[in-house]
Amino acid sequence: MKKVVVTGMGVISPIGNGVDEFSNALKAGKSGVGKITQFDTAGFDVTIAGEVKDFDPSRWIEKKDARKMARFTQFAVAAAAQALEQADLIETIPDPAGGEGQKRRVRGNAERTGVVLGNGIGGFEIVSESFRKLHDNGPKRMLPLTVPLMIGNEAAGNISMVFGTKGPALTQVTACASGADALGQALDLIRSGRCDVVISGGTEACITPFSIGGFQMLKALSTKRCDTPEKASRPFDVDRDGFVLGEAAGILVLESEEHAKGRGAKILAEFAGYGCSADAYHITSPDPSGEGGGRAIKLALEDAGLKPEDVQYYNAHGTSTEINDVTETRMIKYAFGDHARKLKISSTKSMTGHCVAGGGGIEAISCILAIREGFFPPTINLDNPDPECDLDYVPNKVQYGEVTAAASGNLGFGGHNGVVVFKKYE
């Protein structure tokens, strides 16, 4: 079976745009949660979110192209540009359309370079704006690009168009597990020999009145700490009262080891394993026994050829909801057995908020950073641990130590469970 490696990473997130900024924020235990600025929250019980700050798409995307992209797509293309730059897989060529400008194109065989992205919701701001125009003024006032801007596959499609990739361009939609499942699908494309390189991860940007209102009606969001937003996301803490919605994109460049070594690439980590399962239990809640998610962890470890004791760090889904955090604790115990009490576990959602499909991407990157830089990101705001959440969640402050293998798990509405495993590259 082909070994798959990581050669590039890119991040757009509430705690930093770029891998270095993101890594430093993780170590500092920085919160990216604040008052919502993207719309007027008058009348909403929820007024906070993990928004991306200081995002200028023109740093990575030509302005004329960015205007034809929804926010979640802009995030994905920007993070992909970062990842391809780090992987040294971008070259500049004359504009293929015959214009005077130049275009960035993926280096190498474009037909064997694929894209697999996770996205849960698509361009919600486009849906909201076009529906408002339809309601107020009729169909002729709707945004002309409503459909191509709103649909979830457009992030993968735009990465393909911007960088000229001509292999598979796919979108995985499994709610909050989408990012992890996209990475798993990319892993399989390379192992099967269909692709040499795959650009993969997750992206989401749904901080809109429609989505905040919808999650608020589900009673899923935190409402108790809107005056102290940096304290609102508190996974595994007895005083948690719901998740904080975030937005982000995390993108990896994945290659077969043979391809990466053949071009002299710097290898950041090995993408060693993936496991997925379904709870077959409830449309929004995980199976409280933890068996479904625990089985996904076991499958991922088996796929990676690892025993539970080989893993030092687990990046938990850790949403800060009552049922998720207790269930995930049971999952980890089910999968890791006695080793669960020696494992370092944290929820970086305590800092970023819950970035839906984008979470799977940036949390996978958190694992790779832990391996490369020898640290365990903290779970901030963990002041009073829930007695039912009785493992080592790295409370409040970063810890340092050797990490040779790390895993990240994501759980999605509908009972979707996806787990990815990374190893130090030898």
Residue among 147, 250, 235 nearest 204 (CA): 250
Q: How far apart are CA 331 and CA 324, in angstroms?
A: 10
DSSP line for 142-156: S-TTHHHHHSTTHHH
CB 241 within 8 A of CB 69: no
Q: Single out the catalytic residue among 226, 276, 317, 389.
A: 317
Q: Is 367 a catalytic residue?
A: no
199 Cβ partners below 8 Å, 6+ apart?
80, 83, 84, 113, 114, 115, 116, 159, 163, 165, 251, 252, 253, 254
Q: Single out the catalytic residue among 195, 206, 276, 354.
A: 354
Q: How far apart are CA 175 and CA 16, in angstroms?
A: 23
- Cβ of 81: how many Cβ atoms within 10 Å? 21
Token pair belonging to 188: 């399989």
Q: Is 389 a catalytic residue?
A: no
Helix axes 19-28, 357-373, angle to 10 degrees: 80
Alpha carbons within 13 angstroms on the beta-carbon side of residue 393 total: 32
Supply φ then ψ for residue 178, to 5 degrees.
Answer: -60, -40
The helix (run of H) or strand (run of E) holding residue 332 is: helix 322-336
Residues labelled as active-site residues:
176, 317, 354
